[in-house]
Chains A and B, each alone.
Chain A
């Protein structure tokens, strides 16, 4: 994969960051990503990010877990290995429910983790370049992808950082 050339500005304060992102959106600048040490409240709608669909995946995984547990136990206790427990019928649904619940939770949680990693291209062995170490501490960062970008366009970005009060502006190849 070709390396990316990233131009990024660091901000000291989340309020400044929010204003900067708002300005970028009104000026139709194509932001690559925004990094922050903690979730900044109200950033998602300003960035125009649509709601995550991870919970819909979670619902489907949960449903699969429910059906797996229910059908498996039904098969085991009525077809494969019927045993009488405590004088109850073979197909004793109340006794299945705790296990159905556990498998629903298990499938939903593991499924959501795996989906999240798969969708974001994350996982063991994937390198994850950090633009600046201080982004994980106290700096907020707005990044633009400037690979093969015309010089005057880069100047627009530089101008944007100056106007919105970025404390530092840097480039990095990742």
Chain B
């Protein structure tokens, strides 16, 4: 079987999840504060997460083309299909962009003209952090990515018509397009991440942040690939994909989970060592108010995949891979949650004039060491009273929204899969992929 078609049951399930997502977003919108911070931050969180996954699918596809890699060819249509989701990503981000222009949401502190005027740091950054730049990066740059995604897919489908072992399309066109995309995508994605995520904590910056986000997306993309392959195999497609392909995907999940941890730790340790208030505030906030997510993030995204996927045989077992990849995928979603939510909450507090939160923290720092106990008690009191549903921990509404977006993503890429044969029979590297042996 080489031609995928969505069956009625799949449509029903996916549409029910999408409706669930919409209902959850609707409820979030109603129960929200006056800025609808929870609704908008959920929207941004999921849009960014899935758009990034689509982008990373394209990056990895192009990197594999450049590297003359063959192992992935049998299921490369999956990544082509994921990359097409960039189109939906543009639409989703357009909603956020419109919100920035018309002040429908207050996700970004720099979007508030009054704050910028009274804030030296925000003013200094306003050359990059302003609605015009945000629009350029969210829509035009992502549009350029989408253009490359359609180009790579069109070439791949064009190749289905050539003779066997005909390298002409691969060598003359695909390689050229892929080698242009890698630097373009690589450099622009960093700026896009600064705009979309890092600028939520508008006063704070980290030079490592873009890599860290990218790898989070990359691991998520690999997890989705594994889960999709397992599902499609269970439906009888991709019988050519065997334990050897899963072994290689497992090695990627393992390796990049370790790399993610490396970047996470590098960012944390430099800020911890430097001990500059402007920088440590980012981690102080998360350690004090989000301890479960902060440490849980490390356990789920590093300790678990590290020890489970360290062994040779676990990477070759589809059951183990399915469980680990589901957990790690959710773990990286929570990672983005932890990047986005505290900053949004903080901005909302600032704009609502609550300010009390930061004043309290300042007071706690000012207390001399002898009064540490008092300060601790105060911090605890602050801690207990600071639980904000939908921010301190992902609630049911957040999970429902995630499922809705995930269903949209799955539905969209499955529609793309329907439009071309699943296995590219005429790819010059197809034989290498069909006879792939790892051990």
Contact = CB atoms under 8 A, between A and B. Distances in A.
Nearest to B274: A86
Interface in A70-92: 86-88
A45 to B, nearest CB: 9
Contact of B269 (A42, A86, A94): A94
A94 B268 contact: yes
Given A51-B312, A59-B310, A95 B437 contact: no
Highest count of chain B CB atoms <10 Å: which of A42, A94, A98: A94
A2 interface: no
Contacts of B273: 86, 88, 94-95
Contact of A97 (B269, B312, B437): B269
20 contacts: A41-B437, A42-B437, A51-B312, A55-B312, A59-B310, A86-B273, A86-B275, A87-B275, A88-B273, A88-B275, A94-B265, A94-B268, A94-B269, A94-B272, A94-B273, A95-B269, A95-B273, A97-B265, A97-B269, A98-B269
A113 B273 CA distance: 36
> Is the contact region of chain B dominated by helix, strand, or loop, or is it mixed?
helix
Interface in A1-60: 41-42, 51, 55, 59
B295 to A, nearest CB: 13
A91 to B, nearest CB: 14
Contacts of B437: 41-42
What 10 pairs between A and B have smallest CB-CB spacing? Answer: A94-B269, A94-B272, A41-B437, A97-B265, A86-B275, A86-B273, A94-B268, A87-B275, A42-B437, A97-B269
A84 B124 CA distance: 36
Nearest to B313: A51
A82 to B, nearest CB: 18
Interface of A: 41-42, 51, 55, 59, 86-88, 94-95, 97-98
A51 B265 CA distance: 34
Size class of the B contact interface (CB-based, 8 Å): under 10
Contacts of B269: 94-95, 97-98
A94 B269 CA distance: 6
B270 to A, nearest CB: 10
Nearest to A87: B275
A68 B370 CA distance: 36
Interface in B243-270: 265, 268-269
Nearest to A51: B312
Interface in B268-305: 268-269, 272-273, 275
A56 to B, nearest CB: 9
Nearest to B262: A101
Contacts of B310: 59
A86 B280 CA distance: 15
A87 B276 CA distance: 12
Given A86-B275, A97-B269, A98-B269, 17 more contacts: A41-B437, A42-B437, A51-B312, A55-B312, A59-B310, A86-B273, A87-B275, A88-B273, A88-B275, A94-B265, A94-B268, A94-B269, A94-B272, A94-B273, A95-B269, A95-B273, A97-B265
A115 B437 CA distance: 28
B40 to A, nearest CB: 34
A72 B312 CA distance: 31
Contacts of A55: 312
A87 B280 CA distance: 14
A59 B306 CA distance: 12
Contacts of B265: 94, 97
A51 B437 CA distance: 15
Nearest to A45: B439
Interface in B85-139: none
Most A Cβ at <10 Å: residue of B268, B272, B437: B272
A87 B277 CA distance: 14
Contacts of B312: 51, 55
Nearest to A98: B269
B170 to A, nearest CB: 25
A88 B437 CA distance: 50
A99 to B, nearest CB: 12
Interface string B304-327: 000000101000000000000000
B277 to A, nearest CB: 13
Contacts of A41: 437
Interface string B346-364: 0000000000000000000
Contacts of A86: 273, 275
A44 B75 CA distance: 28
B65 to A, nearest CB: 25
Contacts of A87: 275
B64 to A, nearest CB: 22
A87 B437 CA distance: 53
Contacts of A88: 273, 275
A87 B396 CA distance: 42
Nearest to A41: B437
A172 B272 CA distance: 66
A97 B261 CA distance: 12
Contacts of A97: 265, 269
